[in-house]
Amino acid sequence: MSRIYQFKYFIVLALLTAVFCLTPVTLARDFYAPDGAMYIGVDYYPEHWPEQRWAEDLRLMHEAGFNVVRVAEFTWVMLEPEEGRFTFDWLDRFLDLAQQHEIKVILGTPTASMPAWVARKYPETLAMKPDGTRSTWGGRKNNCFSDGTYRLLSERITRAMAEHFRNHPAVVGWQTDNEFGGTDCRCHHCRQSFQDWLRTKYGSLDRLNQAWGTHFWGHTVQRWDEITIPDSREGTWAIANPSASLDWMRFTSWLNVRFQGDQVRILRQVCPDHFITHNFMGLFQDMDYYDLARDLDFVSWDNYPVFATMDEPGFAYSPAMAADVMRGLKARNFWIMEQSAGPLGWGSFSRNLRPGELRQIAMQQVAHGADGMLWFRWRTCTAGREQYWHGLLGHDGKPGRRYREAAAAAGDLRKLQDALRGTTVEAPVAMIYDYDSLWALRIQPGFPENQYLANLGRYHRAFLRAGVNVDMVPPDADLSGYRLVVASSLHILPDETADRLTDYVRRGGVLLADIRTGVKDATNLAYDRTLPGRLSQVLGVEIPEYEALYKVRYRLRVEEPLQGDFEASLYADWVEPKGAEALAVYDSWPVQSYAAITRNQYESGKAWYVGTIVPDETFYDRLIGALLSDAGIQPVMTPPAGVEISVRSGEGRRLLFLINHLEKPVTVQVPLEAKSLLGETQTPGEISLPPYGATVLQLVR
Ligand code: GAL
What is the percent of the chain where pLDDT is above 70? Answer: 94
- CB distance 388 to ligand 1 below 6 Å: no
Across 13-17, 102-106, 552-556, 595-599, least confident range? 13-17
- CB distance 620 to ligand 1 below 6 Å: no
The answer to whether 338 is a known catalytic residue is: yes
Q: How do strand 171-175 and strand 429-432 relate by DSSP bridges?
A: unpaired
Partner residues linked to 275 by β-bridges: 173
Per-residue pLDDT averaged across 632-642, rounded?
Answer: 96
- CB distance 389 to ligand 1 below 6 Å: yes
Nearest Cα to Cα of residue 244 among 207, 198, 204: 198
**Looking at the predicted structure, is the pLDDT value of residue 554 above 70?**
yes
Task: For 114-130, write each residue's pLDDT tens digit.
Answer: 999 999 999 999 999 98
The answer to whether 82 is a known catalytic residue is: no
Per-residue pLDDT averaged across 583-612, rounded?
Answer: 97
* 23 — pLDDT class (breaks 50, 70, 90): very low
**Looking at the predicted structure, is the pLDDT value of residue 30 above 90?**
no
| SS3 state of residue 335 | strand
What rounded mean pLDDT belongs to the chain?
94
Structure confidence at residue 25 (pLDDT): 37
- Of all atoms in ligand 1, which is nearest to the CA of residue 279? 8
- Of all atoms in ligand 1, which is nearest to the CA of residue 337? 8
Structure confidence at residue 19 (pLDDT): 44
Which amino acid, 176?
Answer: T
* 79 — pLDDT class (breaks 50, 70, 90): very high
Partner residues linked to 40 by β-bridges: 373
Element (H, E) at 193: helix 188-202
Task: For 640-682, write each residue's pLDDT tens digit.
Answer: 999 999 999 999 999 999 999 999 999 999 988 999 999 776 6
What is the percent of the chain where pLDDT is above 90? Answer: 89
Q: How far is the CA of 36 from the centre of ligand 1 (A)?
A: 29
Pick left, alpha or beta for residue 184 (phi over 0 → left; psi -120 to 50 → alpha; otherwise beta): left
Burial of 21 (0-12, 13-18, 19+ CB in 10 A): exposed
Query: Between 20 and 605, where is the model more confident?
Result: 605
- CB distance 43 to ligand 1 below 6 Å: no
* 231 — pLDDT class (breaks 50, 70, 90): confident
Structure confidence at residue 233 (pLDDT): 57
Nearest Cα to Cα of residue 305 among 354, 371, 348: 354
How many Å apart are CA 451 and CA 470, to the nearest integer? 20
Structure confidence at residue 4 (pLDDT): 44
Q: How far is the CA of 178 from the centre of ligand 1 (A)?
A: 8
Q: What are phi and psi of 595, to 5 degrees?
A: -90, 155
Q: What is the residue-wise DSSP string for 380-418?
A: --SSSTTTTS--SB-TT----HHHHHHHHHHHHHHHHHH
Per-residue pLDDT averaged across 133-161, rounded?
Answer: 96
Contact 417, 373 (CB under 8 A): no
Per-residue pLDDT averaged across 513-534, rounded?
Answer: 98
Task: For 687-698, write each residue's pLDDT tens digit.
Answer: 999 999 999 999
Q: How far is the CA of 404 from the centre of ligand 1 (A)?
A: 23
* 590 — pLDDT class (breaks 50, 70, 90): very high
Spell out where 72-119 has E strands.
Answer: 104-108
Nearest Cα to Cα of residue 82 among 120, 126, 137: 120
Structure confidence at residue 46 (pLDDT): 98
**Looking at the predicted structure, is the pLDDT value of residue 295 above 80?**
yes
- Of all atoms in ligand 1, which is nearest to the CA of residue 112? 9
Active-site residue, from 47, 102, 124, 179: 179
Give the residue whose CA is nearest to atom 6 of ligand 1. 389
For the stretch 393-400, contacts whose Cβ atoms lie closer than 8 Å and that sit 24 or more positions apart, written own/partner, are: 394/342, 397/53, 399/60
Contact 197, 251 (CB under 8 A): yes
For the stretch 85-89, contacts whose Cβ atoms lie closer than 8 Å and that sit 24 or more positions apart, written own/partner, are: 86/160, 86/164, 88/160, 88/161, 88/164, 88/165
Q: How many helices (H) and strands (E) does the chain have?
A: 18, 27
Ligand 1 site-directed mutation target among 109, 300, 302, most atoms within 8 Å of CB:
302
- CB distance 302 to ligand 1 below 6 Å: yes
Per-residue pLDDT averaged across 375-385, rounded?
Answer: 97
* 18 — pLDDT class (breaks 50, 70, 90): very low
Structure confidence at residue 314 (pLDDT): 84
Contact 327, 368 (CB under 8 A): yes
Nearest Cα to Cα of residue 432 among 470, 402, 394: 470
- The model carries a pTM of 0.95
